[in-house]
Amino acid sequence: MKKYLLTLIVYLCCTHLHAQSISLLNLINLTSLNNAQAGTTLTSGKVWYMQYGEELNGFVVEHYQSVAQPVKKETIIIGTGFKTASGSVLHTVSYVSPNPQDVINLVGQIKTSGLAIFFQGSDVKDNIYIYENFLYHMVVRLAIDNSKGVIDVTQKQVFVE
């Protein structure tokens, strides 16, 4: 019995140390919320706190950072996007992690969710992967030097006939 308890404790500690702070579904859900709702959603679990906000291109952009060890500070950026001709706003949520494995784990969630890969390539700094479906456009950038990973999730305009 003691062996099982010790195994469980070690497993939970390791899971806590290496787990990312957000899932793909949560990132997608944040795109449909305004800044106040998204901020409340992020900070209610006490896993994220607002680092700072700024005005950029007419949008209030807020940066949230995870409450984690300094080497594992993940960042979520909300409030960016663009206005459509009808006046609605299509939001973009960005997730930045200094640990590329966090982004690779989210890419695994992207693949199992059924999003199709639209583009795969690289530039001088990053390997780039673009996934799409009829509702979302996701750009994944993994630094070639393994220094960070970024996922941008953007709503797409849906046309109803």
How much is the pLDDT for 1?
56
7 domain residue, yes or no: yes
Q: How far apart are the first and last CA of the chain?
A: 63
How much is the pLDDT for 122?
94
Model pTM? 0.83
**Cα 94 from chain centre:** 5
**Residue among 52, 70, 62, 69 at smallest CA distance from 30:** 62
How much is the pLDDT for 88?
84
146 domain residue, yes or no: yes
CB neighbours of 6 closer than 8 A, spacing ≥ 6? none
CB neighbours of 127 closer than 8 A, spacing ≥ 6? 121, 141, 142, 144
161 domain residue, yes or no: no
84 domain residue, yes or no: yes
How much is the pLDDT for 15?
45
64 domain residue, yes or no: yes
How much is the pLDDT for 9?
53
Q: How many CB atoms lie within 10 A of CB 12?
A: 10
Q: How far apart are CA 47 and CA 68, in angstroms?
A: 8
Mean pLDDT by 10 residues, the chain (161 residues): 48 51 91 92 89 89 87 89 86 94 93 91 95 94 94 87 63
Domain of residue 147: give its range: 2-155
Backbone angles phi, psi at 149, to 5 degrees: -140, 150
Please state the domain count of the chain.
1
90 domain residue, yes or no: yes
